[in-house]
Amino acid sequence: MKVILLERVERLGAIGDVVSVKDGFARNFLLPRSKALRANSANLKVFETQRSEIEARNTRAAQAAAKAGEKLDGTSYIMIRQAGETGQLYGSVSGRDVADAVNAEGGKIDRAMVVLDKPIKTLGVHPVKVRLHAEVTVTVNINIARSADEAERQAKGENVIASQFEEDRASDAQAAADILEGGAGSHEMSARDD
């Protein structure tokens, strides 16, 4: 199906472009959301008469999104989740979770604005893109941790999983050194030898 774009659509075109798309994409996404019109002679005439108005409306929307994006860009949000010893989450963090975290802190985004290539499944600080408008994208940082203390350590740049393994290795080495030095059980063995 051929459509006339009423706003910039990523990987498709800019305002006024006549593009060919699959019927389902046009019927289910572009047309209901007023992102496009069917490309026929009547709609082409209507678009040409309203082109300046449509472009002005799009420019205003982009400016409003840019203003909102200034407050949002680079902000950090903490999410407390359960995870295993290796840092794998029990479950995952989706776009809806990110939107809920941002909205809880006073931001105003929709889950459809969150751009995640794949769900987040590990602890750590993850940069996430938020598309406020077709021409305005900002990045927020999502700090996923098991506790507030761990989130604070991660925010300072510490890799909590690596440091946890290092602490475990050090305590295991100390326990092995205690045993070799004659720690637990060595006095009982010398009493039996006599």
- Total domain count for the chain? 2
Q: What's the DSSP call for residue 145?
A: E
* Residue 174 maps to a domain: no
8-30 pLDDT, tens digit each: 888 888 888 899 999 999 999 99
Give yes or no: residues 89 and 150 share one domain. Answer: yes
* Residue 189 maps to a domain: no
* Residue 87 maps to a domain: yes
Q: Look at the pTM and tell me if it is higher than 0.85.
A: no
- Structural contact between residues 139 and 14, judged by C-beta atoms closer than 8 angstroms: no
- Structural contact between residues 79 and 93, judged by C-beta atoms closer than 8 angstroms: yes
Give yes or no: residues 87 and 159 share one domain. Answer: yes
- Mean of pLDDT values over 172-180: 75
52-79 pLDDT, tens digit each: 898 898 889 889 888 888 888 888 999 9
Q: How far apart are CA 93 and CA 142, in angstroms?
A: 10
pLDDT at 162 over 60: yes
* Residue 148 maps to a domain: yes
The H-or-E segment that residue 56 falls in is helix 41-72
Name the phi and psi angles at 153, rounded to 5: -65, -40
- Mean of pLDDT values over 174-189: 65
Q: How far apart are CA 163 and CA 110, in angstroms?
A: 36
Q: Which of 23, 38, 67 is the last residue of a domain?
A: 67
Dihedral angle at the C-alpha atoms of 92, 169, 156, 69, nearest 10 degrees? -20
* Residue 90 maps to a domain: yes
Q: How many CA atoms lie within 13 A of 91 on its CB side?
A: 7
Task: Tally Cβ neighbours within 10 Å of residue 21.
Answer: 18
Looking up residue 26, the CATH number of its domain turns out to be: 3.40.5.10
Domain of residue 106 covers 76-163
Looking up residue 147, the CATH number of its domain turns out to be: 3.10.430.100
